[in-house]
Amino acid sequence: MAYKILGKDHTPPDIEAKVTGRARYAEDFRADGMVFVKLLSSPMPHARVTNIDTSKAKKVPGFIAVLDASELKPSKGGAAHEILSNNPAFVGQPILAVAAETEQAAADAVEAIELDLEPLPFVIDPLDSLKPGGPNAIVGGNVANRRGVDFQEIKWSGKDFALAGEDRLPMGKTPIDWQFGDLEAKFKESALVLEESFVSSAHAHHALEPRSAAAYWENGKVHVWGSTQSSSFAVPSLAGYLGMKPQDVVLISEFCGGGFGGKGYSYPVMAIPALMSKKLGGRPVMMRISRAEEYYNGSARAGFQGWVKVGFGADGRVKAIDAFVVQDNGSTGGFWDFQNFGDASSVVFQPEAMRYRGIPVLTNTPPKGPQRGPGENQTANIMEPLMTKAALKLGLDPLQLRMVNSPGGGGEGAKIGAKQTPITSAYLKDALAQGAKLFNYEERRKNGPQRIGNKIRAVGIGQCYHSAGAKGFDGLVRITTDGVLHIHTGVGNLGTYSYMDTSKVAAEILGYDWNRCVIERGGSPANMPWNLGQFGSNTSFTMTRTNYVAATAAKDLLLDIAAQSLGGSPNDYELANETVVAKAGGKSMSFAECAKKAIELGGKYDGHTLDEDLNPMTKASATAVAGTGLVAAAKDKLPLGGTVAGLAAAFIEIELDTETGRVEVVDYLGIPDVGTVLHPKGLAAQVRSAAVMGFGAAGTERLVYDPEYGRPGVRGLYQAKPPSYLDVPANIGASYVEGAIDPHNPVGAKGMGEPVMGAASSAYLDAITVALDGHVFNRVPVVADMIINHLNNQPQSHKPLQVNCQ
């Protein structure tokens, strides 16, 4: 379908402020009488606070107040992520907050507090906690996850560990265990079976903007300047931390300096300024989070220790997968990355039979949260090099093996997960085919890895999946009496500009000139509808639907108003050039005139009467703008017949220095399956930025802990090692699958922000396997010293299943 606005490049309305420095992030705000908060955090990985003496702190000039855990609502216990804690379970967990007239005085007062801690047993390696008598990260339990796994204690038997030995994953009882198909039969009929234990390191989000926040109270409402990648979705969770109703929370979130999943919803430290402000009678409070605090209290991608067995037919078809994942869950509820291993493997490789087992184990490390492709990207990083290893053993081209398995051609018959339910669309095979052509794969691959002096050139392939959409959220649009379309959005400003891209659908449906549209965004003051969080891949699919239904509702109102004003029935009219015109010709009414008429009519026309099934947030927002024009709010009740499959493929050429272990990316192409392209430049930026992030995840980034002290060794960007612009090629290729469309989205669109990262990282790792003649490290990231040790026939520094080490 030809679109007037979709698929075209537009300048996001906030970009000028970003590039000129006028954009104001949470810590840029100041207010008269503002006070400053600093945190006293745990120096130990697990402890109990036995005494807090603030007498000296109170004598520090400028000291105002202390807020500690005893003043907050009682913890739910278990693995709950507490705002302030007297039972800290990771280094850097906030114990109390100090407010002072200046930030320096607050820091001085924090230093003057005498804190007594009783050290408790701690654990940073999940397997240590699973051993009989192993330490628990939280008193009373060692296993929990926010999705489907209650706080509990699980210990494996000594026999479980003895059977495995030191180099193979022990496999005891797990809370998650599912299977489809006849696994045993499929392994028996396999021509090749690979069985590997693996480690995928945890690594930080390290958003450029730390999670600073500020707050004040006014007329019973709390106003919070927060750093969040979601706007409307962040409000209920923040209200929950504050023990308030969502309608009493005013969240200002106009800009966000990076989230990568770590700021998808609100988080505990965001609540601290609001709680301190309440204690101080509403006085404005600013809390600036340092880079080190961001590493402690930000979140991190969960690490995996795992085992996988894959059976292949002689043609490369994946017959069976048996997978087992132990997740480093941190000390809180974490995220369900480990469960996504099962889904992702089942989608990308479409195995004929599969078993998946997983267990999330609590450790005394920073909270783990979703990071771009949570679980799916770790899956790709482990599985893709195995595909190439299998291909080389079977005498197949690695691309050929993938083409045999990957879902494509729309995804007819493709299934996902334990229950083998359908997916909405899939063009992964098409991505491989089109990408191979664009990347000139056959020519590059023809002679295998090329040795040039001390370097090896090799080509790799990556693939990845992420669930990419939902239904049931709301849209809100408004036409004011000047005829301008106002598109209200609760999508956050993550940096992907999808708040704009999804808003374009409303303009498209109503036939607007994009220059006469205003996006109302930036948090509660923009009167947001209830939108899904800005979870990368999900936004495009989900909020194109909400804007579609809201614009369609507006269209119906416009036709209705014209019929009432000009005679006839709504079916006698159509929209053209921001005017309602009679199909028979002659009569017309501009949108501006319709808006005036809507106010005159009131009721459902100007927002005074709303559908009952709208979310309370949408109702409140629509009510706030009621009477300002034609107001249309609608809930997305469009059908959704399966899991939305965000998919991506990637091709890479690397140059591996056999002497220094350095891997240089020579060329790269990311090619996602996105259905209809909403914004070509935005899409290309996502593909490129995901590639940079993927290269870091594959080659340099990891969390490191001293196992004796539980001390984190990464608390700065230079230690965390995300790639710099000098570490990536100047030109990173970005494309998309031509001819793809998702039939479950009214404009055929779906997201891809997350799988393009996993495709990039897995392609990077796959190319290393190609360069090293099929050697698979089974560990992510593959750092220089691992390559050096391998090529010099030296043992690796780490044991095969060791985690959080260098």
The contact set with other proteins (CB under 8 A) reads 38, 41, 92, 103-104, 106-108, 110-111, 288, 290-293, 296, 659-662, 699-700, 704-709, 711, 713, 715, 717-719, 721, 723-727, 783-785, 788-789, 792, 794, 797-798, 805-806
CB of 91 to other proteins, least distance (A): 10
**Comparison of 105 and 390: residue with beta carbon closer to other proteins:** 105
Which is nearest to 723 in space by CA: 707, 753, 700? 700
**Would you say 65 or 740 has its CB closer to other proteins?**
65
Cβ nearer to other proteins, comparing 6 with 783: 783
**3-state DSSP call for residue 580?**
strand
Q: Which CB atom, from 27 or from 653, has the smaller least distance to other proteins?
A: 27
CB of 89 to other proteins, least distance (A): 17
Q: How far apart are CA 231 and CA 350, in angstroms?
A: 36
Tokens of 183: 């696994």
Nearer to other proteins, 36 or 530 (CB): 36
Q: Is 645 within 8 Å of 467 (Cβ atoms)?
A: yes
Contact partners, residue 327, CB within 8 Å, separation at least 6: 126, 145, 302, 303, 304, 334, 337, 338, 358, 359, 360, 361, 368
Task: Output the smallest distance, CB 756 to other proteins, in A.
Answer: 22
**Can you point out the beta strands (E) in 642-731?**
645-657, 663-673, 705-706, 711-712
For residue 712, the minimal CB distance to other proteins (Å) is 9
Least separation in angstroms between residue 222's CB and other proteins is: 25
Of residues 577 and 797, the one with the C-beta less far from other proteins? 797
Strand 303-312 and strand 318-328: the pairing is: antiparallel
Structure tokens at 722: 């995300």
Q: Which residue, 93 or 434, has its beta carbon nearer to other proteins?
A: 93
| CB of residue 67 to other proteins, shortest distance in Å | 17
Closer of 314 and 709 to other proteins (Cβ): 709
**Which H/E stretch holds residue 205?**
none
DSSP 8-state symbol, 385: H
Minimum distance, C-beta of residue 373 to other proteins, in the bound complex (Å): 22
Of 88 and 661, which has the nearer Cβ to other proteins?
Answer: 661
List, in sequence order, the alpha helices (H) in 671-805. Answer: 680-699, 717-720, 755-771, 784-791
3-state secondary structure of 269: helix
- Between 282 and 712, CB nearer to other proteins: 712
> Which is closer to other proteins, CB of 321 or CB of 805?
805
Closest CA to 645 of 462, 458, 411: 411
Question: Phi and psi (nearest 5°) for 791?
Answer: -75, -15
Give the closest residue to 308 by CA, choosing from 366, 349, 266, 249: 349
Output the smallest distance, CB 792 to other proteins, in A: 4
Nearer to other proteins, 240 or 713 (CB): 713
Which residues on neighbouring strands pair with residue 457, listed in sequence order?
A: 450, 655
- Comparing CB distances to other proteins, the nearer of 93 and 228 is 93
The closest alpha carbon to 254, from 485, 506, 494, 487, belongs to: 494
Residue nearer to other proteins on the CB measure, 110 or 479:
110
CA distances from 218 to 222, 224, 244, 277 (A): 6, 11, 14, 10
Q: CA of 334: how far to CAs of 148, 173, 362, 525, 656, in Å?
A: 12, 20, 9, 31, 36
Query: Which is nearer to other proteins, 41 or 498 (by Cβ)?
Result: 41
Q: How far is the CB of 689 from other proteins (least distance, A)?
A: 17
* Smallest separation (angstroms) from other proteins to the CB of 169: 21
> Which residue type occupies 650?
A
SS3 234: helix
Strand partners, 649: 463, 671
Token pair in block for residue 262:
């770590």
Q: How far apart are CA 244 and CA 479, in angstroms?
A: 33
- Give the nearest distance from C-beta 542 to other proteins in angstroms: 36
CB of 367 to other proteins, least distance (A): 17
Cβ nearer to other proteins, comparing 179 with 789 = 789
Q: Closest distance between other proteins and the C-beta of residue 106, in Å?
A: 8
> Residue 94 CB, nearest distance to other proteins (Å)?
11
| DSSP H helical ranges for 316-357 | 337-349
User: Can you tell me the distance from the alpha carbon of 99 to that of 103, in angstroms, rounded to the nearest whole number?
Assistant: 8
Sequence-separated (6 or more) residues with CB below 8 Å from residue 730: none
| 717 C-beta neighbours (distance < 10 Å), count | 15
CA atoms of 215 and 222, how far apart (whole Å) = 7
Buried b (16+ CB within 10 A) or exposed e, 545-554: bbbbbbbbbb
| Distance (Å, whole) CA 54 – CA 66 | 8
Helices (H) then strands (E): counts for the chain: 21, 35
Least Å from the CB of residue 329 to other proteins: 22
Identity of the residue, 392 or 786, whose beta carbon is nearer to other proteins in the bound complex: 786
Distance separating alpha carbons of residues 772 and 776, to the nearest angstrom: 8
How many whole angstroms separate alpha carbon 599 and alpha carbon 605? 7
Distance between CA 266 and CA 630 in Å, rounded? 33
Minimal distance, residue 701 CB to other proteins, in Å: 10
In the complex with other proteins, which residue's Cβ is closer, 28 or 785? 785
Least distance from other proteins to the Cβ atom of residue 721, Å:
5
Q: β-strands 221-226, 249-252: how paired?
A: parallel
CB atoms within 10 A of CB 153: 12
Q: How many residues does the chain have?
A: 806
CB of 727 to other proteins, least distance (A): 5
Is the separation of the CB atoms in 109 and 63 below 8 Å? yes
203-204 and 114-119 strand pairing? unpaired
